[in-house]
Structure 1
Amino acid sequence: MTLTPVLRPDVFAGRSILVTGASSGLGAASVRRFAAAGGRVYAAARNTELLAEVAASCADLPGEVAFGSHDVTSADDCRAAVAGAVAAFGRLDVVVNNAGRHDFRITTEVTDEQWAHDVALNLSGAFFVAQAALPHLLETGGNIVNVASVAAIMGEAYSAAYTASKHGIVGLTKALAIEYLNTPVRVNCVCPGGMNTPQVTTIDVPEGADWDLIMRVSAKRGLMEADHVAAVIAFLASDDAAAVHGSILPVDQGHLAG
């Protein structure tokens, strides 16, 4: 289900927003929400066909959407995504580091390549995008919203690389928040719980895994829609959150409150 974005059509007017992992799920919902608020959005992901569909879904919205194929497991591609956003719109005001994927694996069976890939996708990509974006954000007084997970605050079974990487996103957020404390740049982080996204339908649980351990991270209220989390991302990126800097914000239907 896609929810209708509810933001004033001028909230992000004249502002340029880079969203990674933008081809589906939370990334696509974030693109639509920023475009609905008048933003000029550069959508980055690997699959250009899906990106084109996301851009087409924004055709009647006040904002503008451009897109490019970028793989955040490559530091060069991270820099290219930032350059693409600046080339498309002449400036950069907001970065949403959303790209990532959760794969369940038994720890003793994780290969060197799988570990390196998961860390590159879920942590290093956010660092390299932020590193390339910061000079532009310093010019515009912009901000970064990093997307972590409830796995950034608690442990998840069969998810050592993912959980370690998402904990790293929290650390990255806090480190940047302190480093840029004396500048206008803001850096914040959202930690979503389970969402009704295409990734849910492609989860592959290892043979012999204890399902009760996996379900410990599930909220009693069930899955959220991606647009619910996109709304929080848009708030953090907006001037309404001008005093919010270095925050780690769970969006999880109360799961971590227990």
Structure 2
Amino acid sequence: MSELSGKVALVTGASSGLGAAVARLFGQRGATVFGVGRDEQRLAAVFAEVPGGRYAVADIAGAQRCREVVEQCTAELGCLDILVNVAGQHAMRHTARVTDEEWERDLAVNLNGPFYLSRAALPHLLEAGGNIVNVASIAGIEGQAYSAGYCAAKHGLVGLTRALAVEFTAQRLRVNAICPGGMLTPQVTGFTLPEGADPNLVMRVASPRGLSEPEAVAKLVAFLASDDAAAIHGAIYTADNGKTAG
């Protein structure tokens, strides 16, 4: 078991899906978790199962709110050892019909937020000898139909992970990313196809093994965040039931 005892972890997207699974698992493994999400009722329900956890209702798309979240976490809990950027959004759209606002929102949530949070957290993580785990997607290493904004942002998040890993190679910080495939989360199970979309193109993203439980993927996040992964830096792990194996 990857132990996280005594660590303070900030986890975004903590109100549902993978973020909620990560928050619960980190709490079970001894971490003090500061969760961030947009739905206060769901956050409260999740953190009723996270011993000693705290949470903040926030939209991580803006730089100022990301700074405030990091400041609140460190003020309340005294330090920050782990940042897990889980929050994301994905809506399938015909690219020719994507509005400026939809494109900008895709980038804001899936890429800008993780950058703003990482930038705000870096001084604390460097002091603690901590780490960042970014949750990208297999859309960050391959193309997916009707997902231009999501793919662009997740490719960017993979690039951000590698850029930070190189920049901080000689310092007390680890930065890694995971690229999950389809998971049994509301974002995936509740998706709808754009009108007139070709379902054969959409099904190219599916693995014959089906969808993963978020709790299974959370275990990979916990490992990378733990001292058991001390030698892992700048890595991009897939958790996709073999979808991108070849």
Give the structure-1-normalised TM-score.
Answer: 0.94
Is 1:17 the counterpart of 2:9 in the alignment? yes
The answer to whether the Cα contact below 8 Å between 1:70 and 1:80 also exists between their aligned partners in 2 is no
The answer to whether the Cα contact below 8 Å between 1:72 and 1:121 also exists between their aligned partners in 2 is yes
Is 1:171 the counterpart of 2:159 in the alignment? yes
Unaligned 5+ segments in structure 2 are none
Report what 1:4 is aligned to: none
Residue type of the partner of 1:213?
Answer: L
* 1:65-104 map, 5 Å: 65-104=53-92
Is 1:35 the counterpart of 2:27 in the alignment? yes
1:211 to 176, 182, 199: 199
Report the CA distance between 1:256 and its aligned residue. Answer: 0.6
* 1:126-205 map, 5 Å: 126-205=114-193
Report the CA distance between 1:106 and its aligned residue. Answer: 0.2
Q: Distance in 2 between matches of 1:74 and 1:124?
A: 8
The answer to whether the Cα contact below 8 Å between 1:79 and 1:128 also exists between their aligned partners in 2 is yes
Is 1:223 the counterpart of 2:215 in the alignment? no
Report the CA distance between 1:201 and its aligned residue. Answer: 3.2
2:101 to 89, 113, 136: 113
Residue type of the partner of 1:38?
Answer: G
The answer to whether the Cα contact below 8 Å between 1:98 and 1:147 also exists between their aligned partners in 2 is yes
Partner of 1:255, secondary structure, is: coil
Report the CA distance between 1:238 and its aligned residue. Answer: 0.3
The answer to whether the Cα contact below 8 Å between 1:38 and 1:64 also exists between their aligned partners in 2 is no
Is 1:44 the counterpart of 2:44 in the alignment? no
Residue type of the partner of 1:194?
Answer: G
Overall identity of the aligned pairs, in %: 53
* 1:52-71 map, 5 Å: 52-58=44-50, 63-71=51-59
Report what 1:244 is aligned to: 232
Q: Distance in 2 between matches of 1:198 and 1:113?
A: 23
Partner of 1:57, secondary structure, is: coil
Q: Distance in 2 between matches of 1:55 and 1:75?
A: 25
